[in-house]
Amino acid sequence: MSKSRIAAIDVGNDSIKGLFGKADYELTMPNVIARDTEDRPVIGIEELDDKNPLEGVHIRVHSPALKENNAIYRVGDLATKSGNATELDMGSSKSEEDQTLVMLFASLALDAAREENAELFNRKDNVIDANYTLGTGLPLREVKEGKDVGYRSSLLGSVHQVEFLVTPKYQGLKVNIKFDHVKVYPEGFAAYINLVMDNDLNITNRDLVDKRILIQDIGGLTTDIAVIVNRKIDDDKAQGFNIGVSESLEQIREEIRSKHGVELDSRRDVVDIITKKNDRNHIMVKGSRTSVHDITDRILLDIAKKQYRHLRNVWQKNSQTEICYFVGGGSMVLKEYLKTINNNLDGYNIGFFEDEKESIWMMANAYYKLISAFNRENNKEQAKSDKGTEKQPVKNK
């Protein structure tokens, strides 16, 4: 029987982030897919096995949870180079999109197929049977609507298969994915856990534990504002909004194409331009370094103002709030604009994470802490149960 491996996966609107096992492997790739054919052309196919699998994820996915079953996709970096690439759109529900599941299954299959896990899972010929204990999350709005229940049930109780087609190193492998346990956490609460607790859920930030705080998680398509009171989310006051940074990134991408004739592969490329350490807000046009400040500043300032209005409205309804933390990939994009607006207007006590990776990986880290704690408790209960059912010696009458 295969052992169950821990997986903590944040299917973000911009990219997917995953932590596996004892956090011995982390994976990230753009949340982009593109429908494809079985035999995609490859230049230099003899070198296929020398490349990084993440550069050429080409898969067929079979799952009863999918609306379009047995479809073939390019995933991640490979998909960004496709003319028919798709990213999650405004108004979509993460829990109801095939793309969310395709990205989830692909990341698990990429972990299961690694040589380092050869002894962990049962493998016969080119078929790997992989069991996982999964921690993941959904936007607060979807959890409040009860969509986490259907999402979880679609994962449990079925076998989901990923077949690697023309993928470096893994071509011809099939991975059967089965979930022993699935936990779906509201994203805002997960951020709070990551703020105050370590991997063993021991409190590390006592200054925050009993404070009334807001956590504004700005994603690609949604924004969640969690209201934390007495170490719990106040369900009635917590709010989710169908507004993120993806539409603004798409607008920047289109204006750069229109004004400068430069085609960017995905929203990820736009984020890199906005957040890179050197030459921020600059691109190369015909070999010349060119500023796009005029485009990025105008569009990002507009979305930052909308985000600030949400903060103001929620804070006014929770007047005893002591601090609001901005988290998520969107907060990194808008950080300087939000700080400027706040300094010029209300001057709320707001906080950001200066470490970009810490902010972007916050959800995945939180899911890892929560699912690891669940797994430890579950193993303890199982050990007690096994001990209690051991056959007792029969007494002589």
Show the 3-state SS of the chain: CCCEEEEEEEECCCEEEEEECCCCEEEEEECCEEECCCCCCCCCHHHHHHCCHHHCEEEEEECCCCCCCCEEEEECHHHHCCCCCECCCCCCCHHHCHHHHHHHHHHHHHHHCCHHHCCCCEEECCEEEEEEEEEEEECHHHHHCCHHHHHHHHHCCCCEEEEECCCCCCCCCEEEEEEEEEEEEEHHHHHHHHHHECCCCCECCHHHHCCCEEEEEECCCCEEEEEEECCEECCCCCEEECCCCHHHHHHHHHHHHHHHCCCCCCHHHHHHHHHCCCCCCEEEECCEEEECHHHHHHHHHHHHHHHHHHHHHHHHHCCCCCEEEEECHHHHHHHHHHHHHHHHCCCCCEECCCCHHHHHCHHHHHHHHHHHHHHHHHHHHHHHHHHHCCCCCCCCC
Q: Where do the domains of the chain lie, and which CATH numbers do they carry?
A: 4-187 (3.30.420.40)
The pLDDT of residue 397: 46
The pLDDT of residue 186: 85
The pLDDT of residue 91: 67
Low-confidence ranges of the chain (pLDDT < 70): 1-2, 41-48, 90-91, 354, 388-397
Give the C-alpha separation, 202 to 215, whole Å. Answer: 20
Task: Kindly list the distances between the CA atom of residue 361 and the CA atoms of 11, 16, 247, 312, 356, in Å, as whole numbers in the listed order.
Answer: 11, 10, 22, 26, 9
Give the C-alpha separation, 168 to 164, whole Å. Answer: 9
Task: Kindly list the distances between the CA atom of residue 165 and the CA atoms of 39, 48, 56, in Å, as whole numbers in the listed order.
Answer: 8, 12, 10
Beta-carbon count within 10 A of 115 CB: 7
Give the C-alpha separation, 283 to 94, whole Å. Answer: 32
Give the C-alpha separation, 323 to 182, whole Å. Answer: 32
Give the C-alpha separation, 317 to 313, whole Å. Answer: 7
The pLDDT of residue 211: 85
pTM, two decimal places? 0.85
Burial of 236 (0-12, 13-18, 19+ CB in 10 A): exposed
Cβ distance 252 to 302 under 8 Å? no
Give the C-alpha separation, 247 to 116, whole Å. Answer: 39
Cβ distance 73 to 45 under 8 Å? no
